[in-house]
Amino acid sequence: MTNATQIATRHTADRIRILVWSDGSLTNGLGFSVRGGKLPASVLWRVVGDLALFDWTELPSVIRTAKKVARRKAQPATAADFRAELVQALP
């Protein structure tokens, strides 16, 4: 088991503090993990950069979509393309 290190802090649109960990996981300020698991490094910073666009309740859908994008061979060319995919996947 490895110990993850906190590498960044961001806030969601509804002002929930999100901690970003070196193993790709996201937690809120109280330590509760965002459902959906850890993000691969290939999309971690793209998601972290857009956290302020989403509410806490939307993050599991965002993570699911980001993982699908990471599994594809062709990655979105720009951050705007990636963001568009995330927004389309929201319930």
Nearest by Cα to 53 from 9, 11, 8 = 11
Question: What is the chain's alpha carbon radius of gyration, rounded to the nearest angstrom?
Answer: 12
- Per-residue pLDDT tens over the stretch 3-58: 899 999 999 999 999 999 999 999 999 999 999 889 988 889 889 998 999 999 99
Lowest mean pLDDT among 35-39, 60-64, 67-71: 67-71
Block residue for tokens 């691969």:
40
45 phi and psi angles, rounded to 5 deg: -75, -25
